[in-house]
Structure 1
Amino acid sequence: MKKLIAFAGSNSSTSINYELVKYTVSLIDDFDIQLLNMAKVEFPMFSEDLERAKGYQDSLVALKDDIVEADGVIISVNEHNGNPSAYFKNLIDWLSRVDRKFLNEKYVFVLGTSNGARGATGSIGVTEKLLPRFGAQVEDIFSLPNFKENFSVKKGVMTNTELIEKHQEALQNFLKKIY
């Protein structure tokens, strides 16, 4: 069975991007899915001094290993001022130090949401260009604008029919590449 790893690039306990990635994986059958809640995973800010002094945390190495073992990766990136969050950038910095090509030949589905009309498109665009440096193949993206209007947290589902169709199309395109 093919394996997917999925997470949001946010460490917020109330992350709307975690809600989106959780919804996304709920639509997938016939895959072994590892859904990570990054609010429960802490990493110190990256510094070469810290890296030399303490090396890599076990949780970081385990995450890198899980990514390497997966057939595909789903990441829902949050947005702070038009860019991925400092937490997500920090996570990528650490992972790339453990293994520069930690995403080697992995298909990655990048999605994101925000409460604004742009739906994290700035963050998605930055991430879409960043991840190939580490070996990722990013060909499928999805943006969910106006999260509060287009997603029911209580029910755990998207509510806008047109966006549901676009999301499903992007997700299916991603899954076809893995098979």
Structure 2
Amino acid sequence: MKILAFAGSNSSTSINKQWVTFVSRKFENSEIEILDLNDYEMPIYSSDREKNDGLPKLAYDFAQKIDTADLLLVSLAEHNGNYSSAFKNLLDWVSRIPERKIFGEKPMFLMATSPGKRGGASVLEIAEKRFPFDGAKIVETFSLPFFYETFDNQNGISETEKAAELEEKVKKVIKENFS
């Protein structure tokens, strides 16, 4: 199985990229590709730009990555309660590809983390409602609050209940998509 993992952030120190990378390692015996949104940076979407210049090749490249995956692992950064502008811009461009739903009807494990107590809950709620219209088949969601206090790359989640919750959700995603 091929898994495509990415964070909805263009920060070089993205905690959501750290998080999605960590979670991807739980899918043993899978081919994992972790994308960096910085590799898909495009001009800010506008209908005038699309009319004059067409769709950027990077939009097609990103869509092709989705199309080759069996499962999407996505962890969203929350900026002012919503998607980061880098991620939203990418969605806007990919959505303009004719005859395409952004996420290509792929199963998705949708996540978010943040330094705060809500763990990106606002952006997760928005995405959970929106992404199915864009061709995501959301299998499971997970939010990790207090990232800096509850997580490190060596030991994972320090909070026992959250660690158990993640393990159960990973098992569900594996069972529904790899069995």
TM-score (norm. length: structure 2): 0.92
Structure 1 residues 158 and 43, CA, compared in 2 at 3 Å: closer, same or farther? Answer: farther
Distance between the aligned counterparts of 2:39 and 2:64, measured in 1? 18
Which AA in structure 2 matches 1:152?
D
Check conservation: 1:19, 1:156, Cα contact below 8 A: no
1:131 equivalent in structure 2: 131
Shift in Å, 1:156? 6.9
SS of 1:27's partner is coil
Structure 1 residues 82 and 102, CA, compared in 2 at 3 Å: closer, same or farther? Answer: closer
Check conservation: 2:117, 2:145, Cα contact below 8 A: yes
1:114 equivalent in structure 2: 114
Within 5 A, what are the aligned runs for 1:1-179?
2-99=1-98, 100-153=100-153, 155=154, 157-179=156-178
Q: Which segment drifts farther, 94-103 or 25-34?
A: 94-103
Unaligned runs of 5+ in 2: none
SS of 2:52's partner is helix
Distance between the aligned counterparts of 1:20 and 1:158, measured in 2? 10
Distance between the aligned counterparts of 1:87 and 1:172, measured in 2? 31
Unaligned runs of 5+ in 1: none
TM-score (norm. length: structure 1): 0.92
| Runs of 4+ residues deviating >6 angstroms | none
Check conservation: 1:107, 1:177, Cα contact below 8 A: no
Which AA in structure 1 matches 2:92?
D
Shift in Å, 1:50? 1.2
Shift in Å, 1:88? 1.5
The two structures, once aligned, show a CA RMSD in angstroms of 1.6
Distance between the aligned counterparts of 1:54 and 1:150, measured in 2? 46
Which AA in structure 2 matches 1:130?
R
Q: How many residues align?
A: 177
Distance between the aligned counterparts of 1:176 and 1:46, measured in 2? 38
Distance between the aligned counterparts of 2:45 and 2:141, measured in 1? 27
